[in-house]
Amino acid sequence: MCRIVIDCDPGIDDSLALLLALNSPELSVAAITTVSGNVPAHMGAANTGKVLKRMGRLDIPVYVGEPVPLKRAYVDAMDTHGSDGMGESFFEEADIPYQEMGAVEYLETLLEQEEISILALGPMTNLARLARKRPDLLKNIREIISMGGSFKSHGNCSPVAEYNYWCDPEAAAVCFEAFGAAGKKIHMVGLDVTRKIVLTPNLLEYICRLDPDTGEWIRRLTGFYMDFHWKQEGIIGCVINDPLAAAYFVKRSLCSGFDCYTAVETEGICAGQSVADAMNIWKKPANSHVLTETDCKAFMYFFLSRILRKPDG
Ligand code: BDR
Ligand code: CA
């Protein structure tokens, strides 16, 4: 079983990723840390609590992370995720015991004691702060999988930048450099693969038939997001980015890609763009594994098999 920390900003697709991860026996979730992204970090923690309550996993500690990006003004994504960050579902608040310690301090303490893996589903502000403060501890991060960036795909916040890296480009840049220096490769689950993962109304109907309770919960969570996709891009359904990163964490055969050096632009109109040196032009050691292909059908089977309740409850 793999011990992980999930660093996230729930978030509609983050919530679905949590559902998948918490239903995956291969993972042992040590804690969930939140970061300001889709919603402010404290709201992300409250939303995490709502998911944990649903899953009967209020035993998992939640640590609130950094309130703002490293350098620039914070821009949330409530236009996409709703004023509550969960598609205006306004699920009942859960009474979670908030941890006094901040996310960065928690990660520091944990990594002093053990090796863990990290599933990063939001801007990488917490991880960059950790990398700056304690670069010596990065060796204890077994693996880091980040939903973010893009290789050939267009962006979703600017023509070239994906939201998580665009929200805090300095943090993403720090992480790629620091993890590379520590001999690690960030698995970049970017828009090239995640944009192929669409939860369609038909699939949702199917989920509702198989497991009405889970289905209705997901319907309430994703309605706003589906409307957003229709109005914004003419997509029927919604792109669920973060669950693919969680699924890939558990089942590597769902995606494929290549190793290379990746940098993140921090200035000007391309801020937040991930620049993957696929041709090895810069001759720098690989600090990333960039995913370019995914098997959508295999993902959907996997997703459904993990989120649906078994008949015995
Ligand atoms: C990413 O940005 C957020 O809006 C989603 O939760 C996902 O992590 C996609 O660009
Ligand atoms: Ca997210």
Kindly report, residue by residue over 181-209, the tens digit of the pLDDT.
999 999 999 999 999 999 999 999 999 99
Helix axes 212-233, 12-22, angle to 10 degrees: 150
Query: Which residue is closest in CA terms to ligand 1's atom 4?
Result: 38
What pLDDT, on the 0 to 100 scale, is given for residue 98? 80
Give the full edge-to-edge strand order of the sheet including 116-120. Answer: 62-64, 27-34, 2-8, 116-120, 141-147, 186-189, 288-294, 255-260
- Indicate the top mutation candidate among 7, 13, 162 to test ligand 1's pocket, ranked by most ligand atoms within 8 A of CB: 13
What does DSSP assign to residue 309?
P
Q: Does ligand 1 lie within 6 Å of residue 128's CB atom? A: no
Distance 156 CA to ligand 1 centre (A): 9
What pLDDT, on the 0 to 100 scale, is given for residue 312? 52
What pLDDT, on the 0 to 100 scale, is given for residue 187? 98
- Is omega for the bond preceding 11 within 30 degrees of 0, making it cis? yes
Percentage of the chain lying above the pLDDT 90 cut: 97
Q: Does ligand 1 lie within 6 Å of residue 164's CB atom? A: yes
- DSSP H or E run through 220: helix 212-233
Work out which ligand 1 atom sits closest to the CA atom of 12: 6
Q: Does ligand 1 lie within 6 Å of residue 11's CB atom? A: yes
Q: Does ligand 1 lie within 6 Å of residue 77's CB atom? A: yes
- CA-to-CA distance for 33 and 31, rounded, in angstroms? 6
Is the ipTM of this structure higher than 0.90?
yes
Distance 16 CA to ligand 2 centre (A): 10
Q: Does ligand 1 lie within 6 Å of residue 15's CB atom? A: no
Residue 37 scores a pLDDT above 70: yes
Kindly report, residue by residue over 92-137, the tens digit of the pLDDT.
999 887 899 999 999 999 999 999 999 999 999 999 999 999 999 9
Average pLDDT across the chain, whole number: 96
Q: How far is CA 156 from each of CA 14, 30, 113, 148, 195, rounded to the nearest angstrom?
A: 17, 31, 38, 11, 10
Closest to 78 in 3D by CA, of 31, 51, 40 = 40
Residue 218 scores a pLDDT above 50: yes
Can you read off the two tokens belonging to residue 119? 């599933």
What pLDDT, on the 0 to 100 scale, is given for residue 310? 65
pTM: 0.97
What pLDDT, on the 0 to 100 scale, is given for residue 311? 52
What pLDDT, on the 0 to 100 scale, is given for residue 52? 97
Question: What average pLDDT does range 210-235 have in this prediction?
Answer: 96
Question: What average pLDDT does range 233-252 have in this prediction?
Answer: 97
What does DSSP assign to residue 313?
-
Closest to 196 in 3D by CA, of 129, 139, 136, 241 = 241
What pLDDT, on the 0 to 100 scale, is given for residue 96? 85
Q: Does ligand 1 lie within 6 Å of residue 163's CB atom? A: yes
What pLDDT, on the 0 to 100 scale, is given for residue 313? 43
CA distance from start to end of the chain: 23
Ligand nearest to the CA of 34: 2
Kindly report, residue by residue over 292-301, the tens digit of the pLDDT.
999 999 999 9
